[in-house]
Amino acid sequence: MDAASLRKEYTRAGLSEDDVNPDPIVQFHEWFEMAVGADLHEPNAMIVATATKEGRPSVRTVLLKGYEERGFVFYTNYEGRKARELEANPMCALLFYWGELERQVRIEGRASRLSAEESDAYFLSRPRGSRIGAWASQQSRSVEARSVLEERVRALEREYEGREIPRPPFWGGYRVEPEVIEFWQGRENRLHDRLVYRRDGEGWKIERLQP
């Protein structure tokens, strides 16, 4: 299959300044609810881009676990690569691609750790297996074999048998406080609609970008 010959026209919808909400979080909420309603595979999967202080970028997928005016929340290991990069350089970018809806949302902002209480509350809502998994994995470090991880899991299961599994101190959430949010809707002939919100004092300024 020749990648250059793959071509799709986007015809589902348009995006106009008159239709969007002046608050991008409310606008995100509308699109997110539509993505969930459209039964997409993991509509809360988002790409997180981080960069070292020297500007070397890296990306990976994580799951959005909450959003409100203060920002977009995901959970991870605080000692893995993305967390180390965020600790050194909190500026990051998020991306949602909802292909079936011909939509993309790009967010840029600053990440900060959730409070211990917030991370505890989410951790305790996770299934027991995921909680054990969080303890077992030294995220982003190399391991000799999968069996090493599996043995760690068995040992942790023995250790915590009949007991509540607390949140590891090295695991928790980040909240990305948005400074820029762009909504992209695919259109005919690649003349896509792009509306970008930028912080403007207490509110937001909306601008249309060329596709």
Ligand X SMILES: Cc1cc2nc3c(=O)[nH]c(=O)nc-3n(C[C@H](O)[C@H](O)[C@H](O)COP(=O)(O)O)c2cc1C
Question: Which residues does the annotation mark as catalytic?
Answer: 190
User: Using CB under 6 A, which of 29, 140, 177, 199 touches ligand X?
Assistant: 140
**Cα within 13 Å of Cα(99), Cβ side:** 4
Binding of residue 63 to ligand X (CB under 6 A): yes
Planar angle of CA 134, 116, 88, nearest 5 degrees:
80
User: Using CB under 6 A, which of 71, 80, 178, 186 touches ligand X?
Assistant: 80
Nearest to ligand X of 21, 138 (CB atom): 138
Annotate 48-82 with DSSP letters as a single string: EEEE-TT--EEEEEEE--EEETTEEEEEEETTSHH
Measured CA to CA, the distance from residue 195 to residue 211 in angstroms comes to 10
24, 15 contact by CB (below 8 A)? no
Binding of residue 81 to ligand X (CB under 6 A): yes
For residue 99, the minimal CB distance to ligand X (Å) is 14
Binding of residue 156 to ligand X (CB under 6 A): no
| Number of chain positions touching ligand X (CB under 6 A) | 16
30, 22 contact by CB (below 8 A)? no
User: Using CB under 6 A, which of 20, 31, 82, 86 touches ligand X?
Assistant: 82
For residue 122, the minimal CB distance to ligand X (Å) is 11
**Cα within 13 Å of Cα(35), Cβ side:** 20
User: Using CB under 6 A, which of 12, 60, 70, 128 touches ligand X?
Assistant: 60
Binding of residue 125 to ligand X (CB under 6 A): no
Binding of residue 45 to ligand X (CB under 6 A): yes
For residue 78, the minimal CB distance to ligand X (Å) is 10
Measured CA to CA, the distance from residue 22 to residue 16 in angstroms comes to 12
Site for ligand X, rule CB under 6 A: 42, 45, 58, 60-63, 74-77, 80-82, 139-140
